Amino acid sequence: MTPFRSGIVGLVGRPNTGKSSLLNRLLGQKLAIVSPRAQTTRHLLTGVLNSAHCQMAFVDSPGFQTRHRNLLNRSLNRRAGEAARDADVVAFVLEALQFDAADRAALARVPADRPMVAVLNKVDRVRSASSLLPFVARVARERAFDAIVPVSAATGRNVPELLRVLRSLLPEGPPLYPAEQLTDRDERFFAAELLREKLFRMLADELPYSCEVMVDSFSEDGRMRRIDATLWVEREAHKPIVLGSGGAMLKRISTEARKDMERLFGGKVFLQVWVKVKRGWSEDERLLRQLGYA
């Protein structure tokens, strides 16, 4: 008989390698927010995948990073460390054909005492298969990985093989989560995340890094959800940029976020968003705690 296996798979690596995209692809559903910028992911997020003989709890994490050395980013790196430490299997996510100092620094922080797979993501961008082989050999020299698996989170290529490899490395045991539980986070969390995703996608330059989102109230009124949220910005000068001319930018941000929320929650959402200035929020321990960066 095929044994049941279950466990936690930590998705770790430097920022921007596609960990959150991979989580969504593995689950076949958009849970984690994705943007072309580093440090989009600020929280640990578990997504649970059930199959006939296996349950995998994938934990998406902020990438290990060395830029922006403030209190917020120290907390992010701590989170990234937890994702690796608490995992039964570590999926170390790289971009195919790139292994640089940031990847090496991220790898150095992953404990060597557990199964680890190197996931070479974004192979859809690799033109010739012949360039992949020397890269695989190079990655193999960096650590004794249990397996090295090229995938594309964007197209789904080779993701079934990754699942097969991960399953083989998980311990035998009963499921950790009830079968109907997709994630460890609640709708309030996803509401804030989806808003933050829009900031990362729509605001230019460094501005998204100095913004944060707080859901002030979340209530259900029949099948309708009412959500009030605040966008915190660091400086008075940021406020008109987030608002846009005649409030057009804020309207775009909240409309896009609302549509995603309606898709994820499966019902109508009434969303109201305010922009407020909070100088130095990324150094404010109390506010960081309220925002969930304990």
Q: Please tell me what DSSP assigns to residue 67.
A: S
Q: Among Mg ion, ligand GDP, none, what binds residue 121 when CB lies within 5 to 8 Å by partner kind?
A: ligand GDP
Residue with tokens 């699942």: 163
Residue with tokens 């998705």: 11
CB of 189 to Mg ion, least distance (A): 15
Three-class SS string for 97-108?
A: CECCHHHHHHHH
- The answer to whether residue 12 forms part of the interface with ligand GDP (CB under 6 A) is no
- Determine the 3-state secondary structure of 277 from DSSP: strand
CB of 121 to ligand GDP, least distance (A): 5
Residue numbers 57-86 binding ligand GDP by CB under 6 A: 63
CB of 22 to ligand GDP, least distance (A): 7
- The answer to whether the Cα torsion of 273, 274, 277, 283 is positive or negative is negative
Figure out which of the listed residues 124, 172, 283, 285 binds ligand GDP, where binding follows CB under 6 A.
Answer: 124
Q: How many CB atoms lie within 10 A of CB 34?
A: 19
Figure out which of the listed residues 7, 10, 13, 20 binds Mg ion, where binding follows CB under 5 A.
Answer: 20
Of 168, 172, 165, nearest to 6 (Cα)? 172
Burial tier of 133 (Cβ tally within 10 Å: 0-12, 13-18, 19+): exposed
Cα–Cα distances (Å) from 292 to 25, 72, 262, in that order, read 26, 11, 24
Figure out which of the listed residues 97, 132, 136, 154 binds ligand GDP, where binding follows CB under 6 A.
Answer: 154
CB of 262 to ligand GDP, least distance (A): 22
Q: How many CB atoms lie within 10 A of CB 252?
A: 13
Task: Give the nearer residue to Mg ion in terms of CB position, either 206 or 220.
Answer: 206
Task: Give the nearer residue to ligand GDP in terms of CB position, either 81 or 175.
Answer: 81
Figure out which of the listed residues 1, 2, 3, 36 binds ligand GDP, where binding follows CB under 6 A.
Answer: 36
Task: Give the nearer residue to ligand GDP in terms of CB position, either 122 or 238.
Answer: 122
Residue numbers 39-68 binding Mg ion by CB under 5 A: 41
Residue 58, Cα to own-chain centre: how many angstroms?
A: 10
Residues at the interface with Mg ion (CB under 5 A): 19-20, 41
Residues at the interface with ligand GDP (CB under 6 A): 15-21, 34-36, 40-41, 63, 121-122, 124-125, 152-154
